[in-house]
Every structure is written in structure tokens, then in C-alpha cells.
A and B are shown apart, each in its own frame.
Chain A
Amino acid sequence: MADRPETALLDRLAVALAAARAVLERRARTLDDLNVFPVADGDTGTNMLVTVRAVERAGRECAEAPWAARCETLSRAALLAAQGNSGMILSQLVRGAAAALAEPGPIDGPRAAAVLRGASDAADRAVRRPVEGTMLTVARWMADGAEAAGPEAGIVETLDAAVEAGRRAVAATTDMLPALRAAGVVDAGGLGVLVLVEGLAAALAGREPPGAGPEADGPPPPADHAPSRYRYCTSFLVEGPLDLAALEAAIAPLGDSLLVMGDERRAKVHVHTDAPERAVAAAAAHGAIGAPSVQDMRRQEAERAARLARPSAPRSRCAALCLVEGAGIAVLARGLGAEVLEVPPGEAPGEGALVAALAALGAPEVVLLAARPDLTHVLEQTAAAVPGAAAVVPAASAPAALAALVALDPELGAAENAAAMAGACAGVRAGAVDADGVRLDGEPLVPAGGLREGVVLLLTRVPEAELVTVLIGAGAGVAPEEVEAWVREALPGAEAEAHEGGQSAPALLVGIE
């Protein structure tokens, strides 16, 4: 047996690792947000990524070294980089996997199973108080699945079997841990392990890595969660000759979530504590300290909660608050990315409701607009009282407000948005159709014999219209398809779109662009 397996295979493994890292990168934020156990500090994906990147880099840098030494380097790189619970456990999975890879013999399906088993065993051994429903469970089920593929299976077939088992394991984690069940989520670290092996399998098979579509991740978990008892997630390296049990005993009184991983020469310590410096001092009596890392979990928890409080909107520079009357119009406005405050017919919003809605926006700049023109003056007073940049877009009608929201770009500032949105509004003429007649842009009522006649009469006055949007009032008693057919009849060249608006009056609000 040669010391180094064939170069092509190594290249494929390196490419596969890069591909798996890329998949993890795309999913890291999702994992961060899923993270509720042991502490909802929202950094599982990030921590795992740090470890994987370190392994990938080490793999590149030692490409010329003998095979067994290369495996040892990967193992060490993972331990050195490890931060957080998930990073620590991942480093142990890497360590077990690398040891199994370093063994002589062909790199084939059974070896893939042995690598997964080695990974699982190493992590199980390293965690002194293992808990089911975590990365450990998922890694163990994956090793079981890989072994069940049998001795004849190839690498890809074996990994695919492991991935199948891993999916079942991840789904099962929810019911294994009370914290996960309460939040209705799967274990973030477990999902991370699955994502990595899935990425590896896809890359080795030459398949494009699995996507990271939002549908793959299910609904976001609740934002609130019991905080950690301690404030700082602390990790550091101790090099010695070491007595691991004594090292652990020295740090244990200072906090919880304690992990001491490594061997007599070198160990990584991870602990949640209020006194990081005392943990470091306690360890310094046992060996030389290196690579300290301290994360403030209170801040991380707050950041995670803030992210999840507005799951539908990406972190943005500018948000929009739109006052509307009518449940259907509210849905349309929300669909365009606005926060919505519904106002009852004929009333103005209460000051308290307005303040609360503004506080919930979570963006440094805001644009305010109303889908009922009589409310614009209320917004002008509000904007003056908002501490950050705020701008009001004067929309003359609900269709105009919706047209304005189409132009909203959350990455631009309030002033730029307001200008673009005002421009979009200005191009919209508004019609109101009731059973007795129609009005265009607030002109006097022109009598008409019914809703259909009213729509036709209105549209004959704007023959150049390209897009007609109709919002159907609560009591109008017509279906959107019916109204769209009327519009097409009157203006065959225009695009027609009708939705339930739910406004109290008029029966039909017509936006003409």
C-alpha cells in the first residue's frame, strides 16, 4: 500500500470539502437562527463554518505531506480553530474521521463507513455527558446508515445511505430534546453535520450541491428563548503535558457547558462562564494557554432575537410603514415588503399604535405612507417625531400607495426611496366606482348604471392606460375574475389585475397606470 492514495482521489476529496463548505456557508445563517440548545446564542452555523474553513485551509497547505501526516494536520487544525459547542464537537468528528482516513488500505465504500463511525465514536468519547438529540445523535445514525449500505457499496452509495439516515436523525432530534420540542425546531448542529456530509456526497458524485432554498428550512423558530445562565462562551487551547481530568476539575466550578477535548499534549477548553479570565487562570496552572476566544452570549442572544423578530424581511436599511383600511389591501401591502397598520374606516390611528408599529420596524430609516389620503397629515406629524431618517410619501389613493411600495428598495435610504416612490405614485390615476356612478381623481361624480358600466365608463376616459389594478370593496359582491373581464372588455390592450381589497368604500378602487 502506497503511503498516499492516488492524487485524483485526494483532489476530489479537496474539491468535495470545498463544495461542502460552500453549502454550509449558504446555510450558516439558517443554522444560527435554529440554534436553541444548549444556549440560544445563534452561532451554530458560524462556529461550524470556522472549523470547516480551518480544515480546508490546512488541507491545501499540507498538500505535499505524507498522507498520515496530512490527516493529523487536519485534525489539529480543527481543534485549534474550534469555537463554541458545535465547533468543538465538530473538531472531534473531524479528528475521528481523519484518524480513520489515515489508516492504510483502499479508500472505498466500507472506508467511508469507517470514517463516519470513527467520527461518531471520537465525538461520543470526547463529550463527557453526551445528550441525545444533538450532533452526536446525527453522526451516530449516519454511521449506522453507512454501515447498513454493506461492504459492496461504493463511496457515493455509502454516503447517500448515511445522508438518508442523517435526515431521519435530524427530524428525530425535535422529539429527543425538550428545548427543541418547545421551540418546534430540529437541532442546528445536527442539521449542520447532515448538510456537510450531504455536500460531500453530492460533490463526490459530481452532482451540484443541494440548494439552500427557503423551503428547505421550514418556518423560522420563535425568537424568544431561555437565556444562558452565564454570559461568556469562552474557549482556549492548553498545551502541556496535560492531565485532562485535573484540567476539567479545575474549570468545572466556574461555569457550565464545559468541554475539554484533545489529548495529553494539547486540549481545547470550552466553557460558559461569567469569569473568562478566571477560567484561563485556572487552566494556566496546567499548561500554556493559546488561541483564546470569548463571545458575549447576551449580545448574541439579543442579535438572534432581533433577526428573528422580523423573519420575512432581510436586514435592511430602510423599511416602510403603510396605513391601510381593508384587510385585502393590508395583505397586498405586506406582500410588497411593507409593515402595515390597519386603520378602521373613518378613524385615524391611535398614537400608541403608531409608535408601536414604528418601533417594530427594526430599520434605521423609514418611509411612511397611507393608502387613505386623509391620513397623510397624521404621518407628517409622526415623521417629525421619529429620531432617525424618515420621509413621507403622499399617496393620493390605495392603488397609488401600492404602486409606491412596488418601488421600495430596502437597500436604499429613506430620502432616495421616498423620491422613487413619489415618482411611482404620481403616475397612477385613481378611480372610484360605486353603484350610482364613478369619480376619476376626485372629480365630481359621473352617474353610471352599475359597477360594470362604471368600470367601462371610467376606462373610456383613459384610453392610454397600460395597467389597471382594481381593489374590490367589502360589500361589492363581485369576483376578481369578473372585474378583470370588464377591464379587458373596455381596454383590450391593457393588463388587468383585480384583488379583494376589503375597503368599506368605494365598491371598487381603480388604479390606472
Chain B
Amino acid sequence: MDPSRRLDAASTALLTDSGVDLPAALRPANWRVVPLSIVFGDESLRDGIDLDAATFYRRLAAADRLPTTAQPSIEDLATAMRAALERFESVVALHLSEKLSGTAEAARAAARAVGEDRVMVLESGAASLALALLCLRVQARLEAGTTAGELAAAVEALRAAQRTAISPETLEYLQRGGRIGRAQAVAGSLLRVRPILVIEDGEVAAGGRVRGAGRVVPALVDLVTRSTDADRVLRCAYAHAENPEAAAALEAAVTAVRPRARTEAVCDVGPTVGTHIGPGAFAVTFVHDALDG
């Protein structure tokens, strides 16, 4: 795409995938969400279409073998891009982190087939709430009007600045899905230890560990305060996998130490990411956006 191409919310579709976990009601009209599929044994279900979060966690609890995720095909993505281009002049695609899924790579192939002059695929380095927040910050720029070059640079800057801190109930799901990465360091102990994870550069890494339920929220808040500035606006999104009380407690605790924090979204972790993080997890993602000064 020509870096000087004008992009705005009326003429540009934002294409993402079901790894975004933003409630449908919060999705702007120019967003298009391509589903990944969740495979339970021989059964393949499209995230958000054949399978909602509540049903998913019920099945996850009952399954003796963990489900796997399947990325959309290049054809699926190309079809979604073509459909979007019937109503919009341009498509900006932001998919699950390439470290976690092949979707972005497939989207790039689809963009080559559809026409890279009108479709721009950007690397998000994010999943779930972090992808949601990134997409919402992109949306803010589309609404203000921007260019392809500016937007690509902004996404890169946001990706580098955005931080995510997660409390999973267990590391079992990450381990079984092969996506544990450097978080392995906080795994495996006879003592009941609660791991804290962070997403660094699109990959799961260890953020520490604590014992005792009462220490989890303070540990997550500590990760927020360590890398943010109390005087600046802080854009935040929260997410939980069937654990709304924990997410609400975390939001209250973050807002207490960062009065200029703005909650952009509270997400239910959907099946795509839920398969890998497991039920009970909750998280915060946060960024000082240059747009806020």
C-alpha cells in the first residue's frame, strides 16, 4: 500500500480475527472479524459463530483431550478482504501475533492475491485483550484520519509500548499447547504457586510468581506501576476467562494507582485464546498512547 494513501474510518475496514476477544457490541461498524476454528477431536467449530465462550469453557472442562486451534485459510482471509473491499476502499489487517498463530502469515499471502495496493497487513504482536486495545487505538487514528505510512509506524510504536500482565490459574494449558516459551521459568512446583505472565514482543514470558490469592492483584498492579507514568493518560483493557470478579478487582486496583487510566474494554477471553490460557485467567493490557500527548 502506498504510504501516502489516506485512511479513515469511513473508507477503511479493519480486519482482524477471533483472537481479538472484543465483545461484539464494542466493535465499530468498519471492523470485520474472521473466525479461527476450535477443533475438539474430529469436530471443528468456528470461534464466535458455532461456539460461544460459555459453551467453550463448559466443553473445555469436560474434554479429556484439549482442543486445538486452526487458523483461517488463505482463501477465507482473501474472501473476507474482497468482501470488505466491496464496501470500503482499503483494508488494514491486524491479526494474532505471528509467534502464536500462522494467521498473519496467511493474511499476507491473501493480501498478495487480493492486491497489496489496497490491503495492508500489520504485525500486532498481540492476542486477546492486547489485540483488542491495539485495534481500538488504530480505530482512534482511522476516526481522526491518517495515512498508511503513519498508521504502520503508529502500530509499531504501540506494539513496542503496550504491556500485558496475566494471571493464569494454571500453566497447564500453555504447556500442553506448546506456547509456554520463556514462561517455563515459573512453572512446576509442589508448592501452590501462582505464576504471573507478561507478553513481551508477542511471546509469553515469566513475570514472576506469588503464593496466596491475595497477592495476585498487587503483583499485576506492580507490573503496571513499574512501567507507567501517573501523570499521563493510560489506555487499558482487561480480560478474563470466566472470572469477571477478578477482572473487576484488577480494574479497581489499577485505577486507584493510575487515576488517569481509561478502561477501553473489558473482554471475555474467547475460545481461540482460552484454549491456550485456560479458565480462570485474568489480565490487563496498558499503553501510553502518543495520541494522548
Contact = CB atoms under 8 A, between A and B. Distances in A.
Contacts of B101: 208
Interface stretch (B151-159, B190-198, B260-268): B190-198
Contact of A8 (B75, B206, B214): B75
Interface in B143-164: none
A102 interface: no
B252 interface: no
A7 B211 CA distance: 54
B70 A406 contact: no
Contact of A15 (B69, B106, B179, B188): B106
Nearest to A316: B185
B176 interface: yes
Nearest to A27: B178
Contact of B109 (A12, A216, A332, A410): A12
A132 interface: no
Contacts, number: 105
B112 interface: yes
Contacts of B112: 7, 11
A72 to B, nearest CB: 22
Nearest to B191: A332
| Dominant secondary structure at the B interface | mixed
A7 B113 contact: yes
B79 to A, nearest CB: 12
B73 interface: yes
A26 B178 CA distance: 9
Interface string B42-71: 000000000000000000000000001111
A38 B113 CA distance: 45
Contacts of A216: 178
A467 interface: yes
Contact of A335 (B74, B179, B191): B191
A347 interface: no
Which of A7, A15, A316, A513 is most buried by chain B, counting CB atoms within 10 A of its CB?
A15
A11 B78 CA distance: 12
B69 A208 contact: yes
Interface string A490-513: 000001010100000000000001
A19 B109 CA distance: 13
Given A206-B70, A206-B72, A213 B177 contact: yes
Nearest to A511: B211
Nearest to A500: B190
B185 A213 contact: no
B75 A336 contact: no
A235 B190 CA distance: 48
B153 to A, nearest CB: 23
Contacts of B180: 213-214
Contacts of B188: 335
A7 B113 CA distance: 8
Nearest to B68: A208
Contacts of A19: 102, 105
Contacts of B178: 26, 210-213, 216
Contacts of B39: 207
A15 B189 contact: no
B191 A8 contact: no
Contacts of A12: 74, 109
Interface in A9-63: 11-12, 14-15, 18-19, 22, 26
Given A18-B105, A314-B184, A331 B190 contact: yes
Interface in B81-122: 98, 101-102, 105-106, 108-110, 112-113
Contacts of B71: 206-208
A211 B177 contact: yes
Contacts of A15: 74, 102, 105-106, 108-109
Nearest to A467: B212
A209 interface: yes
A209 B109 contact: no
A216 B102 CA distance: 20
A319 B73 CA distance: 45
Nearest to B213: A495
B113 A211 contact: no
A5 to B, nearest CB: 14
Contacts of A18: 102, 105
A499 to B, nearest CB: 6
Q: Could you say which interface size class chain B belongs to?
A: 35 or more
A7 B74 CA distance: 12
Q: Could you say which interface size class chain A belongs to?
A: 35 or more
B67 to A, nearest CB: 11
B141 interface: no
B102 A209 contact: yes
Contacts of B73: 206
Which of B73, B75, B109 is most buried by chain A, counting CB atoms within 10 A of its CB?
B109
Which of A7, A332, A336 is most buried by chain B, counting CB atoms within 10 A of its CB?
A336
B208 interface: yes
Contacts of B214: 466-467
B210 interface: yes
A8 B185 contact: no
A402 interface: yes
A152 interface: no
Contacts of B208: 407, 409
A403 B74 CA distance: 50
B209 interface: yes
Contacts of B98: 22
B182 interface: yes
A499 B178 CA distance: 30
B70 A207 contact: yes
Given A8-B74, A208-B70, A406 B209 contact: yes
Interface string A196-216: 000000010011111111111
Contacts of B193: 336, 406
Given A8-B75, A214-B175, A403 B211 contact: yes
Which of B39, B105, B212 is most buried by chain A, counting CB atoms within 10 A of its CB?
B212
A337 interface: yes
Nearest to B174: A213
B212 A332 contact: no
A96 to B, nearest CB: 26
Which of B70, B73, B211 is most buried by chain A, counting CB atoms within 10 A of its CB?
B211
B68 to A, nearest CB: 6
A336 to B, nearest CB: 6
Given A26-B178, A214-B180, 20 more contacts: A7-B112, A11-B113, A15-B106, A18-B105, A206-B73, A207-B39, A208-B69, A208-B70, A208-B71, A215-B175, A215-B176, A316-B185, A335-B190, A337-B185, A403-B211, A406-B193, A407-B208, A410-B185, A469-B191, A469-B211
12 contacts: A7-B113, A8-B74, A14-B109, A15-B105, A18-B105, A207-B70, A213-B178, A214-B175, A215-B176, A331-B190, A407-B208, A410-B185
Interface of B: 39, 68-75, 98, 101-102, 105-106, 108-110, 112-113, 175-180, 182, 184-185, 188-193, 206, 208-214
